[in-house]
Amino acid sequence: MSNNMNSFIGCESNYKNAGIVLYGIPFDNTTSFRPGTRFGSNAIRNESYGLEEYSVYQDSRLSDYAIHDAGDLECPFGDTSGSLSIIEKFSKKVVKDGKIPVALGGEHLVSYACIIPIAQKYPDLAVIHFDAHTDLRDDYLKQKFSHATVMRRISEIVKDKNIYQFGIRSGEKEEFDFAEAHTNMHKYDLEGLRGMLKKLKGIPVYFSLDLDVLDPSVFSGTGTPEPGGVSFKELHNAVLALKELNIVGADIVELSPHYDISGASTAAACKITREILLAIGGNINE
């Protein structure tokens, strides 16, 4: 008689038993072009029922692991700092309770608040960042906290050169200069990923996936589609490769479902979410 729970498929553990906590962040306050990622996490939950919970790629089921879907946080519209506090607080609780937080955006700025407590717990934290955009501006129209500055802000709370960026194909010249000096950036695609894996073996890793790293042919349902991105298979193979790492947190951001009338972008977001959860779950259980 409680059929109106709305969880991601196969994520039906209670909070207490869960090793992984999935939560949504309906926040798109600083989106510069087409807004609407506030509807992303709910769309991912709703459409996850078009998927199987079993992955033939990983030969495992979501219900093999204890995953709790905590629903969406409530972020006040137009209040960026208030929203970031709410996100940080929730992430902190999950981390403190020894669970792995996996956030569904919302826009990319949310990653900053998600990472704060994780970076506090793991001073060596590495951040793997897949994106079309550098997100390395120091400010955007004078705003310090924006989805265009988020990796710059994160660079200030993790060690220098501990951010690994892939797929980047858009930004200002100054951002690429900053990357040269302070991050590890692999431009255009995900090809350099395997080489990096050895280096990160054993180190705690946060994985921030801006879905616009995908080509707009695959993923047009986003605020700033940037042609020339990776295919779904390339992204998927990269996620499978990450299984070798010690992932301690993750986010999947920038689905804007109202620009996805065909449903193809939301389906991509759902499937990659399942694969990330299984990749992390398999790792925990080992």
Which secondary-structure segment (H or E) carries 84?
helix 80-96
Interface with its own copies (CB under 8 A), residue from 9, 20, 29, 273:
29
- Of residues 210 through 229, those in contact with its own copies by CB under 8 A are 215-218, 220-221, 224-228
Helix (H, G, I), strand (E, B) or coil at 210: strand
Interface with its own copies (CB under 8 A), residue from 9, 10, 13, 42:
42
Nearest to 20 by CA among 252, 269, 253, 259: 252
Residues 6+ apart with CB under 8 A from 259: 34, 36, 220, 221, 222, 223, 265
Nearer to its own copies, 159 or 285 (CB): 285
- Taking CB under 8 A as the binding criterion, the range among 66-74, 98-106, 123-131, 150-158 that sits at the site for its own copies is 66-74
Q: CA-to-CA distance for 10 and 258, rounded, in angstroms?
A: 25
Rounded to a whole number of angstroms, the minimum distance from the CB of residue 28 to its own copies is: 7
- Taking CB under 8 A as the binding criterion, the range among 193-201, 203-211, 262-270, 277-285 that sits at the site for its own copies is 262-270
Q: CA-to-CA distance for 168 and 257, rounded, in angstroms?
A: 23
Residue 182 found at the interface with its own copies (CB under 8 A): no
Residue 147 contacts residue 113 (beta carbons within 8 Å): no
Rounded to a whole number of angstroms, the minimum distance from the CB of residue 129 to its own copies is: 16
Residue 143 found at the interface with its own copies (CB under 8 A): yes
Nearer to its own copies, 19 or 263 (CB): 263
